[in-house]
Structure 1
Amino acid sequence: MEQKGVLLESGTNELEIVEFSVANNKFGINVIKVREIINPIPVFSIPHAHKHIEGIIEIRGEILPVINMARVLGYPDSDLPEMDKYIVTEFNMQKVIFHVHGVDKIHRISWNQIEKPTNLYQNLDSQIIGVIRKEDGMLLLLDFEKIVVDINPETGINPNRLKQIEKRDRSQYKIVVAEDSALLRKLLSDTLSEAGFHKVDFFENGKDALDYLETAISQEPDIEKAAQLVITDIEMPVMDGLFLTKQIKEHSTLSKLPVVIFSSLITDDLRHKGETVGADAQVSKPEIGELINVIDQLL
């Protein structure tokens, strides 16, 4: 994990996935979110904790919660708990440990190899954000942000964070948002509307957003008639936000558009990735109030 962010250049539309198992089922997590992988150590249980919280442990002076992924996914506990692994993660400005049954290998893939779940098994409550086909089966990418928010809603986007924002008319501005999570698209739609932004076009991935912008300027050279600003997540199937940002900033016309990366992956260690591709600003989820402040500064 020490080399994460070094192996992959920013804006290549590639990522590395840590493959792990829970009850013989295969799942994946972006290497960028992983701080380290450790063997099980004693967990201190917490009275009246959420059913998915196994307890807390101390790692190098930090007290971190342990989420039991078998409970989250509705699977039985491990038959060989001494062989289990703890995945120590950092995203959304917090550190969380996920208790899994095994860690297998790291895969380097392109975002366009990740298929979006179909409506038959994916909805607002789904924990699956992508499917990777492999020769020996499938690997499911999980929405770890949603897993944490379901346990503690205060860690998610909260419209109450907008109370400090200056109330004024922002309806003249048109914004394009690339965000693959249906839940977050709805939350962003509600909060941007509350802030006064009523002209917002949402897209499920970077490619759809880029296609929209390129089509718009082919019909009308004035880009401001299509959008005045782009907000993008980083992790998205087909085309990620870093690659989208790079494509916009290298385009002769679109490069004028301010791009704000709004992602759970904005940390001191990873901020350089957005800077490399030319992002005008980067805001960590769930700081929606800060996002509005940044938008106001750029418009």
Structure 2
Amino acid sequence: MGTTYSLYLYASSATEADAESAAVFEEIDRLEQLLSNYRESSELSRINREADSSEVTTDPETFEFLQTSLEWSALSNGAFDITVGKLMKAWGFFRASGHRPTQQELTQVSNEIGWEKVQLDPQRRTVRFLSPGIELDPGGIGKGYAIERSVAILRADNVQAALLSAGSSTIYALGAPPGTSGWKVRVPTLGDHQNTLSTVTLRDTSISTANCSEKNFIQNHHLYCHIMNPHTLQPVEGILQVSIIDPSATASDALSNVLFVSSARQRASILQHLPKDSAFIITGTRLTSRCKTIRWTGTRNGYCSSRMANKTH
């Protein structure tokens, strides 16, 4: 899925740890075969190739994943949109370092995205694109979904303490290491993984981070981030990082992107409806600058490192 998964766990022996690790990574590999748009052989890639010309019958798991994705699109009024595949390619953020598309390219892309153009039939478990050129991109939710399914395996095997990470963009903390209240998870400084922005203690919950530092390009002194606003067809501006804690890894993955794309007023409204969640949002236009404080909404505490974005709230 374009990232590296890491697992830390407590077990009674090396043999048991190896067995649990193997089961988790086999599950991630299995989901990669279903949901990755980096693999031409995946079920998602097959749907991308065929669903604009005919109904595609898919397996129950992939269908459930698509239903969940579209539900997030509906809940966020399209701030999260799994159909941004062509938009990501137009801006050069799929297997590339990024470039600014022409207006003609964006006009073409405008006809090739839109979550409302994906039709699901639960009775027949079929997928159909209502417009040609639609391309699904699971980047804003797929890693969290894989984490959640893998944690279910650990729970079923009665693992008491484990930490599973998808390239640090989504992390789930299961239980707690012996003698502690939870897993201490560091949120690295934007653009500098060697330094820590905030440290949180997590237990039976997840944290997801969406930020500009992983994929971006600068043209004419202007920063372009890989996180797209599906409404404007442009990279989001003025936001540099969003981190959110939610009990569900799938939800936190999707929400980190929803909050990134949404306006300040929309973010406030979303978080008011998630009283058990905690989040912080870093605003600004430069990847390295100074800040004074970081405030988590909810019950978490955070602190600022010496180098960060120019504003926080």
Do the two structures share a fold, i.e. TM-score over 0.5? no
The TM-score by the shorter chain falls in which range?
Answer: under 0.3
- Identify, as 1 or 2, the structure richer in strand: 1
